[in-house]
Amino acid sequence: MNTIITKDGTEIYFKDWGSGQPVVFSHGWPLSADAFEDQMFYLASRGYRCIAHDRRGHGRSGQTWNGNDLDTYADDLAELVTALDLKNAVHVGHSTGGGEVARYIGRHGTKRVSKAVLIGAIPPLMLKTEANPVGLPIEVFDGLRAGVAADRSAFWRDLSLPFYGYNRPGAKISEGVRESFWLQSMMAGFPASYFCIKAFSETDLTEDLKKFDVPTLVLHGDDDQIVPIVASALLSSKIIKNATLKVVKGAPHGMCTTHKDEVNEYLMGFLKA
């Protein structure tokens, strides 16, 4: 297995497919690098080096009690980039992974970054506050925590429905996709499953977005029930200098799977631009 050991002794697993310009993928909660396999296979088959790690606490990486916060996630990403000596990299982040990319740029700059892509991403802030009235109330995130604590396995099965828009009338449900979601989710340790909720909901990434100085694509589905577009992409695309916003009609949060062909075409077009 490809792994690195971070400065605090945590083992981070990663996939490294293909050769060419590096494209680095940061996955969402509570999944793993497997969530990006459709994009990785597509791009690696077309001359790119695709790298995706399992965030600490998730997938095949070490299940730490500490460090389930965006500062540590970003620093782990920086250690991976340094260990592999990646340069001119395109960073792609989905959901919490989009927050990881934003905090990585905020903390470590863009000297190794050529472009960034935020897909269904959490920035600038998911939580509703006086300064962020379009966010979701804390009760929503308390409900997620309660679900994780009560019966994680059942909770992941239920969460897969809105995640992929399978709860919409007439939706064509793939039980295989739901099973993959459940399997990836169950590989996340209890601490990451629980503590990451605070990380992705309460971390304000506004100042990080202001530090973006590379071409950035903000890609979001207008039927995202997990990270509503009004509190995320519509705001972050205005904060990031010269960002390009692309809204995918009818796409859910898990659009890298349900709308993989569209997502792949957007990525390829952006990489070549």
Tell me the C-alpha distance between 61 and 5, whole Å.
10
Strand pairing report for 48-53 and 11-17 = antiparallel
> 53, 91, 253, 259: which is the annotated catalytic residue?
253
Report whether 51 contacts 23 (CB < 8 A).
yes
Catalytic residue among 26, 95, 193, 201: 95
Q: Where are the beta strands (DSSP E) in 160-207?
A: none
**Is-catalytic flag, 95?**
yes
Pick the catalytic residue: 91, 224, 236, 237? 224
Concatenated DSSP letters of 196-249: HHHHHHH---HHHHTT--S-EEEEEETT-SSS-GGGTHHHHHHHSTT-EEEEET
- 254: helix, coil or strand? coil
Active-site residue list: 95, 224, 253
